[in-house]
Amino acid sequence: MELELKSLYPFQSNFLQVGDYNLHYVDEGQGECIVLVHGNPTWSFYYRNIIKELSKTHRVIAIDHMGCGLSDKPAEYNYTLEQRVKDLSSLIKFLELKKYSLMVHDWGGAIGLGHAVDHIDEVDKLIILNTAAFRSKSIPWQISLCKAPVIGPFIVKYFNAFAYPATFMTTEKKLSPQVKKGYLLPYSSPKKRIAISEFVQDIPLEEGHRSYETLKAIEEKLPLLKQRKLILWGGKDFCFHDEFFVRWQEIYPEAEYEYFKNAGHYVLEDAREEIIPRVQKFLSL
């Protein structure tokens, strides 16, 4: 990693071999464990501030999904929701975690909760940030364009039409040049953007899609998760908008909720100062 970004992301790199490839993860601090699961097109960098603070009192694990962040970026890989869940489960098993909380965001919601519904007794608490783990046909036109056959993968990989716009479309507060550079660092060439493209292609809008039944099965099991839950929501999210927030309230009416009306999709960027102490308090109880 470039020296100027080390102050933003000062964590030691760790790797788990998955098949022929290396899966990168952060493992910082000691104490009760929390696992952070990112979405698309981010990586563990999204959680950098949470890692810095929580690692003072907790053991914090942050995965980079295969093809993302500092993980390998194979041209040929099973870039599906089912495999993403398996990769996360493999990491947790490798680390011999017996009890841990989960924080999930964006695609990390389906991945993290996909793991949780099959490992209910292991999961302590759940923290949910602007995400979904249930079926929906709501998709912004910008993402629909990136999902379109042929043209979608082409513009995502060769024109960086997903990761780059995310550096200014996902927040209400302008990201600094250094933070923007951090988000884009792992995705500097078309061949390094394969996973970003595949994440978009893997959005299961219709029956028959390769990940539709996987997402359906996760959705049906969500009520089994009786753990304490904290749902932190950015109200100006162009993608996971308020309909998703309302749906979570329907699924988990007993959860604790915080709604940040002036925060965007990257709610941890816009509402960091409010969220970090809220998370610390939630985990301490």
- In the prediction, which pLDDT does 5 show? 82
Q: Give a yes or no: residue 1 inside a domain.
A: no
- Please answer whether residues 183 and 69 qualify as being in contact, where contact means their C-beta atoms are separated by less than 8 angstroms: no
Map tokens 């998709």 to a residue: 139
Residues 118-141, mean pLDDT to the nearest whole number: 96
Closest CA to 81 of 112, 50, 49: 112
Q: Give a yes or no: residue 98 inside a domain.
A: yes
Per-residue pLDDT tens over the stretch 188-240: 999 999 999 999 999 999 999 999 999 999 999 999 999 999 999 999 999 99
Instruction: Tell me what the pLDDT averaged over the chain comes to.
Output: 97
Q: At 219, which helix (H) or strand (E)?
A: helix 212-221
Give the model's confidence band at 44: pLDDT under 50 very low, under 70 low, under 90 confident, else very high: very high
Q: Give a yes or no: residue 15 inside a domain.
A: yes
| Token code pair at residue 74 | 């194979």
Q: At 33, which helix (H) or strand (E)?
A: strand 33-37
Per-residue pLDDT tens over the stretch 145-162: 999 999 999 999 999 999
Give the model's confidence band at 141: pLDDT under 50 very low, under 70 low, under 90 confident, else very high: confident
- In the prediction, which pLDDT does 43 show? 98
Whether residue 275 has pLDDT greater than 90: yes
Per-residue pLDDT tens over the stretch 91-124: 999 999 999 999 999 999 999 999 999 999 999 9
- In the prediction, which pLDDT does 3 show? 58
- Please answer whether residues 240 and 248 qualify as being in contact, where contact means their C-beta atoms are separated by less than 8 angstroms: no
175/173 Cα distance (integer angstroms): 6
32/60 Cα distance (integer angstroms): 8
> Which residues sit opposite 28 in a β-bridge?
60
Residues 279-285, mean pLDDT to the nearest whole number: 96
Q: Give a yes or no: residue 3 inside a domain.
A: no
Query: Domain count of the chain?
Result: 1
Q: Give a yes or no: residue 109 inside a domain.
A: yes
Domain that holds residue 111: 9-284
Q: Give a yes or no: residue 2 inside a domain.
A: no
Per-residue pLDDT tens over the stretch 75-96: 999 999 999 999 999 999 999 9
Check residue 91 and report its DSSP letter.
H
The CATH number of residue 155's host domain is 3.40.50.1820
- Please answer whether residues 265 and 170 qualify as being in contact, where contact means their C-beta atoms are separated by less than 8 angstroms: yes
93/81 Cα distance (integer angstroms): 18
| Token code pair at residue 212 | 């539709």
